[in-house]
Structure 1
Amino acid sequence: MVRTAINLYSVRDLDLPMGEILERCAAAGYDGVQFSGGFGGLSADELADRLDDLDLAVTAAHVDVDEMESDPTEVASFHETVGADGAVVPWLGPEQFESREATLETADRVDAIAADMLEQGFDLHYHNHDHEFVAFDDTTGFEVFADHTDALLEPDVGWIETAGHDPVEILERYGDSVEIVHMKDMADGEFCEIGDGDVDMQACADAARGVDAEWLVYEHDEPEDPAASIDTGAEFLAGL
Structure 2
Amino acid sequence: MSDLKLGIQMWSIHDICVQEGMASAIKKVKEMGYNGFEYALGDSITLKERCNTDAEEAVKILREYDVKALGAHIPFEPMLIDPKPVLEECLKLEIPYAAVGPVFWGDRATYAEQKETYDRLKEIAILFHKNGIQLQVHCSAFGYLKDYKGRYVVEGMLEEAGLENLQPEFDTAWMICGGVDPVEMLKKYEGHVDILHFKDFHPLQEEYSYLMVRHNTICEQQHDGCAVGENGVQDLESIVKAAGTYGTKWLITELWNEKDSLRNARVSAENLSKYMK
Give the structure-1-normalised TM-score. Answer: 0.88
Cα shift at 1:65: 1.3
Q: What code does the residue aligned with 1:203 have?
A: S
Query: Does the CA-based 8 Å contact 1:73-1:120 persist in structure 2?
Result: no
The residue aligned with 1:168 is 183
Question: Which range moves more in the overlay, 26-35 or 10-19?
Answer: 10-19
The residue aligned with 2:64 is 53
Cα separation, 1, equivalents of 2:201 and 2:109: 23
The residue aligned with 2:198 is 183
Query: Does the CA-based 8 Å contact 2:107-2:145 persist in structure 1?
Result: no
- Segments of structure 2 that go 5 or more residues without pairing to the other structure are 42-46, 205-217
Cα separation, 2, equivalents of 1:181 and 1:206: 12
DSSP 3-state at the match of 1:216: strand
Aligned with residue 213 of structure 1, among 245, 248, 254? 248
Cα shift at 1:200: 1.3
The residue aligned with 1:41 is 52
Q: What code does the residue aligned with 1:33 have?
A: F
Cα separation, 2, equivalents of 1:97 and 1:209: 37
- How many aligned residue pairs are there? 240
DSSP 3-state at the match of 1:217: strand
Aligned-residue CA RMSD (Å): 2.5
The residue aligned with 2:228 is 194
Aligned with residue 168 of structure 2, among 145, 153, 170? 153
Query: Does the CA-based 8 Å contact 2:167-2:193 persist in structure 1?
Result: yes
Sequence identity (%): 24
Cα shift at 1:93: 4.0
Cα separation, 2, equivalents of 1:169 and 1:205: 12
Q: What code does the residue aligned with 1:156 have?
A: D
Does 1:223 pair with 2:258? yes
- Shift in alpha-carbon separation, 1:82–1:144, aligned structure 2, 3 A: closer
The residue aligned with 2:12 is 10
The residue aligned with 2:131 is 120
Q: What code does the residue aligned with 1:43 have?
A: D
Cα separation, 2, equivalents of 1:65 and 1:101: 18
- Shift in alpha-carbon separation, 1:135–1:90, aligned structure 2, 3 A: closer
Cα shift at 1:125: 0.3
Does 1:143 pair with 2:178? no
- Shift in alpha-carbon separation, 1:141–1:82, aligned structure 2, 3 A: closer
DSSP 3-state at the match of 2:37: strand
| Cα deviations by residue, 1:83-131 (Å, 9 ceiling, x for unpaired) | 3112110353424776777655443232121012122221100011122
Cα shift at 1:169: 0.7
Cα separation, 1, equivalents of 2:140 and 2:20: 28
- Shift in alpha-carbon separation, 1:23–1:62, aligned structure 2, 3 A: same
The residue aligned with 2:27 is 23
- Segments of structure 1 that go 5 or more residues without pairing to the other structure are none
Give the structure-2-normalised TM-score. Answer: 0.77
Cα separation, 2, equivalents of 1:53 and 1:69: 35
Query: Does the CA-based 8 Å contact 2:71-2:96 persist in structure 1?
Result: yes
Cα separation, 1, equivalents of 2:195 and 2:102: 16
